[in-house]
Amino acid sequence: MPNARDHASPTVPPPGREGESKQLLDLVAAARAGRGGALAVRGDLGAGKTALLRHVRTVTDGMIVLSCAGTPLEAALPFAALHELLLPVLARVDVLAGDQAAALRGALAMEEAPADRFLVALATLTLLAELAGDAPLLLLADDVQWLDPASADVLAFVSRRVSGDPIALLCAGRRPGPDDPLRVLPELSLGPLPEDAAARVLDDQEAELAAPVRARLLAEAAGNPLALRTLPRLLSPGMRGGRLPLPDRLPLGDALTRAVGAATAGLEPEAAHALLVVALEETGRRAAVGEAVRLLGLPDTALAELADTGLVRADGDRIVFSQPLMRWYLRQAAPSAQQRAVHAALGAVFERAGDTARQAIHLAAARTEPDAAVADLLDQAARRAARHGGIAAAAPMWERAADLSPGAAERAERLLRAADAAWQVGRNGHARILLDRAAVDVHSPAARAERDRLNALLLAGGGDVTGAMALLADGAAVLARDDPAGAAELRLQAVRYAFDAEAMDAIGSGLAAIAELPLPPDNPVRRVGTAAAAMLHGRTLPAGEISASELHSAMLHWVDSPRPRPWMWPPPFQPSFGYDDTGARAAYLRAEATLRDRGMAGGLPVVLAQLCCLETLMGEWADAVVHAHEGLRLTVDIGERELDSAVFHGGLAYIAAAQGRADDCHRHVTEVLRLAVPGQARTARAQVGLALGLLELGEGRPAEALEQLLPIATPNGPSSHRFIAAFGASLLVEAAVRAGRLDQITPDVLAYVLPGRAPRNPVALAREHHVRALMATTSRDPGVQGQAVRHFEAALAEYTAVRRPFVQAGVHLDYGEWLRRNRRRAAARPQLRTALRLFTELGAQPAAQRARAELAAAGFERHTADAPAAEDARAEPAGGLPLTPQELQVARLAAAGLSNRRIAAQLFLSPRTVAHHLHAVFGKLDLRSRAELPGRVP
């Protein structure tokens, strides 16, 4: 592996940075021992960040060292830094699985292949893990403030997944901005040097400073190592010796600038011009620089003269600056016209080399007026970048292409593309700026609709779903005549937001508008709209109009499509209407598998969120917990996904409450409230009220439970939410009955939580029968008590058609308890045994304990298979096994026969991390081989 290993001898750390150096070396030592980690060295210009990385590199004997550095120009080239980092090991790409290898080759321009940015990140992680199997691996990234966003995203992804691998990642750069993906790394901040260390650095310059001058420079430099090395050169010999007075002020920035500029003052014009070429070319490739120098008409001796000055030095086939600040100075100080001429020459060089991305960027930098040809070239480069997973780098390319576009239509299209790209990578603030810029040029119906869609996404992300719905309705109205299918998608997106906001009128009007559009019968929006309209009224699917399988196929349209639209997923309704739960779950699992196979991690959280909801309803709580934790992990990678994160925490809070894990429930509730943006506060409060109400009921405090649940079901209240209230209707009435406050369940509340009189689905019917049975149990009238029996029996009959074990067990428990209290103990026991069995299988210990107590009161005290003991109940959420959610997920895939490499690809982990999890699984379950997994893992 050429140039990848470093066997240099140890050196002393930079003066005054001994403590910081130890922290970096400790991280490297931990990686040698198999405990990977990442750290960002942050500091101002000249603080000594690069010197620390250089020192660490000298103490890496036996390690593989890969490095890269950001530059201002290459910040616009997707995966430029990643290419530099992996260049010495590109021959190893062949060890990757086909889709990962193709994605990485496409991203690094090794072949023409589309690539999702998460698949590129996963391929990089897998490749690095393979290399770390040969020797511990050290990754060094300098000047990360100038890394191209695509490479920065990859490094951030890797940094969160190396804890189980012998990999250390060290980054160095300025303070991170709010959009910097690497802001998630732990930081080591470099402040000013201590006084004694600053003095040593200054004295090492051998400038023969008089004592007053020395004191003045120490004060002016303020502990900045670069200033300490540079300021003495600013002064004349007379000033350094104290024979001439110093200026009244030596502003540090001006001083450094003048000092760097002074180093170029004696250059011949041709050599100074050649130095600018080196600065603007940025990669330092000798061949490219030499060709540009010749195109500019400069003599060959110009580069040779530069080498003699010591301003630059050779590093293999590259020319690098001896002083990093020199490049920055030249970009600021050189005349604009001269810089444009150099960029034009470099554009011609890269055109001949076939590097169209760099050609486009340099030609764009050479233009001050619109230029259609260059704009088209830059647009094509942006499209290629987006196809290869560099969507973050495509955004500024499209923005610059818009600047150079002479026509309004082209400007609008490119600004909208730039805004879309910025939104996709979580840079919402810049997306808003781009949309504002595009407004003046947006005229066509398609462009207006696209502008409205993007603005709606941004508004909804910030919590203003009402504004988002209005924009989408406007966009749909514009498209309705010429593009009814496009209008339908905008309408459906608005309906989805209306469901989130519980805006019933908007839901109804949006679905009605979809129904009126001239859409073919198999249009996915038409099918989903028909199903959503049925759900709105608690009905099953309309017979003859759409089947469950057709609905599931329509749901998958936005994932399976060649042009995936993640903003359209999930469709705007609950995961299942109480019919064909198994088919609905299969559709979600297929969508999940499709996104994993494509490496489209950005779309996974929304699918996982809905899958968790469905699995919670179906009693597949172990799977729901696993998927929720994976979703939370992915939302960290993606960023700005607070609503998805809140859904995951809300689901985990509900399951924790049902299982009696109060501390976990409160922890997740706190996260829901923290993540809830203002426009989603109603949904968050309703989620929290449902979980806390269930927890209070389980702990025997019905009055407190009622205080949590009643606000959800109070029409027009600050926490009211019709859909969540309907889901918790039986809990609400149970709390009221047990607290002796049934009067709180007013007709308005009852109408709010129960559907109308239209034909309804089994779940809606079962829920209503359960509620009415609970209300009837409070009466002493024999006729009303007879109604209680009929309602309990009807509820149980409806639940035989669907999988709702937790609420079904609740019906059995309430029915058995009522029978027992009415001295019908023999009839009560079968109900209570069934309740206990179902609760025990779910690990719902509070309800199981209540069922057990009722069984004992009904004269059944033996432990049988139908009445398991308390210690048999599941206390752990991960499938009843002592495994973490991710260990269970890994174990299941291994039990299904997947290799570590396949599991890693599915879960966006490194193969070594998978091996670590399997090792833990084997130890916890006392297994000796993978062949034993299928019999032990549910």
Domain harbouring 903, CATH code:
1.10.10.10
**Residue 571 CB: number of other CB atoms within 10 A?**
24
- Contact status, residue 319 vs residue 309, Cβ threshold 8 Å: no
Same domain, 239 and 272: no
What distance in Å separates the CA atoms of residue 56 and residue 139, rounded to the nearest whole number?
A: 11
Question: For residue 401, what pLDDT is reported?
Answer: 96
What distance in Å separates the CA atoms of residue 587 and residue 193, rounded to the nearest whole number?
A: 60
Amino acid at 57: R
pLDDT tens digits along 338-350: 999 999 999 999 9
For the record, the structure tokens of 142 come out as: 């300098």
What distance in Å separates the CA atoms of residue 87 and residue 104, rounded to the nearest whole number?
A: 12
Nearest to 917 by CA among 906, 903, 905: 903
Q: What angle do CA 927, 933, 938 make, to 5 degrees?
A: 125
Question: For residue 181, what pLDDT is reported?
Answer: 86
| Ramachandran angles phi, psi of 236, nearest 5° | -75, 165
Question: For residue 879, what pLDDT is reported?
Answer: 55
Last residue within a domain, chosen from 320, 350, 366: 366
- Contact status, residue 37 vs residue 30, Cβ threshold 8 Å: yes
What distance in Å separates the CA atoms of residue 196 and residue 813, rounded to the nearest whole number?
A: 76
Residue 573 CA from chain centroid, whole number: 24
Is 505 among the domain residues?
Answer: no
Q: What angle do CA 485, 488, 489 make, to 5 degrees?
A: 95
- By CB neighbour count within 10 A (0-12 exposed, 13-18 middle, 19+ buried), where does 604 fall? buried
CATH no. for residue 801? 1.25.40
Same domain, 209 and 130: no
Is 664 among the domain residues?
Answer: no
Same domain, 54 and 41: yes
Q: Which residues of the chain have pLDDT under 70?
A: 1-10, 113-115, 246-260, 262-263, 323-325, 463, 537-546, 562-564, 566-567, 569-579, 598-602, 638-640, 677-681, 755-760, 861-880
Angle at which helices 900-907 and 911-925 cross, to 10°: 110
Same domain, 171 and 309: no
Q: Euclidean distance between the first and final Cα of the chain, in Å? A: 44
- Contact status, residue 192 vs residue 222, Cβ threshold 8 Å: yes
- Contact status, residue 859 vs residue 822, Cβ threshold 8 Å: no
What distance in Å separates the CA atoms of residue 124 and residue 539, rounded to the nearest whole number?
A: 49
- Contact status, residue 426 vs residue 605, Cβ threshold 8 Å: no
Is 526 among the domain residues?
Answer: no
Same domain, 280 and 137: no
Find the domain containing 794 and state its range.
757-860
- The count of structural domains within the chain is 5
Q: Indicate if the alpha-carbon torsion angle 142, 147, 151, 155 is positive or negative.
A: positive
What distance in Å separates the CA atoms of residue 626 and residue 433, rounded to the nearest whole number?
A: 38
Distance of CA 67 to CAs 5, 84, 86, 138, 590, Å?
A: 11, 7, 8, 8, 39
- Contact status, residue 645 vs residue 675, Cβ threshold 8 Å: yes
Nearest to 281 by CA among 74, 80, 79: 74
Same domain, 90 and 185: yes
DSSP class of residue 601 equals: G
Q: How many CA atoms lie within 13 Å of 928's alpha carbon, on the beta-carbon side?
A: 0
167 strand-pairing partners: 137
- Contact status, residue 844 vs residue 809, Cβ threshold 8 Å: yes
Amino acid at 279: A
Question: For residue 179, what pLDDT is reported?
Answer: 76
Same domain, 227 and 280: no
What distance in Å separates the CA atoms of residue 555 and residue 587, rounded to the nearest whole number?
A: 8
Strand stretches in 650-746, DSSP E:
none
User: Alpha helices, DSSP H only, in 204-300?
Assistant: 211-221, 225-234, 237-240, 252-264, 269-281, 286-295
- CA-only gyration radius of the chain, Å: 33
Nearest to 645 by CA among 884, 492, 461: 461
- Contact status, residue 613 vs residue 869, Cβ threshold 8 Å: no
Last residue within a domain, chosen from 343, 366, 389: 366
Last residue within a domain, chosen from 162, 190, 218: 190
Residue with tokens 């508008």: 513
Nearest to 668 by CA among 705, 639, 628: 628
Is 439 among the domain residues?
Answer: no
Residues in the chain: 938
Is 660 among the domain residues?
Answer: no
pTM of this structure: 0.74
Same domain, 172 and 213: no
Is 323 among the domain residues?
Answer: yes
- Contact status, residue 346 vs residue 292, Cβ threshold 8 Å: yes
For the record, the structure tokens of 232 come out as: 């003495």
Same domain, 135 and 227: no
CATH no. for residue 45? 3.40.50.300
Name the percent of the chain in helix, strand, coil, to the closest 5: 65, 5, 30
Same domain, 28 and 173: yes
What distance in Å separates the CA atoms of residue 3 and residue 820, rounded to the nearest whole number?
A: 80
Question: For residue 831, what pLDDT is reported?
Answer: 95
What dihedral do alpha carbons 841, 844, 849, 852 form, nearest 10°? -30
User: Alpha helices, DSSP H only, in 777-844?
Assistant: 782-799, 805-821, 825-842
For the record, the structure tokens of 33 come out as: 């021992």
What distance in Å separates the CA atoms of residue 169 and residue 154, rounded to the nearest whole number?
A: 12
On average, the pLDDT of the chain sits at 85
Is 898 among the domain residues?
Answer: yes
What distance in Å separates the CA atoms of residue 204 and residue 696, rounded to the nearest whole number?
A: 70
- Contact status, residue 830 vs residue 842, Cβ threshold 8 Å: no
DSSP class of residue 405 equals: -
484 membership: H or E segment, kind and range: helix 484-501
Question: For residue 176, what pLDDT is reported?
Answer: 84
Same domain, 913 and 809: no
743 membership: H or E segment, kind and range: none
What distance in Å separates the CA atoms of residue 771 and residue 823, rounded to the nearest whole number?
A: 22
**Residue 560 CB: number of other CB atoms within 10 A?**
12
Same domain, 317 and 232: no
Is 875 among the domain residues?
Answer: no
Question: For residue 841, what pLDDT is reported?
Answer: 92
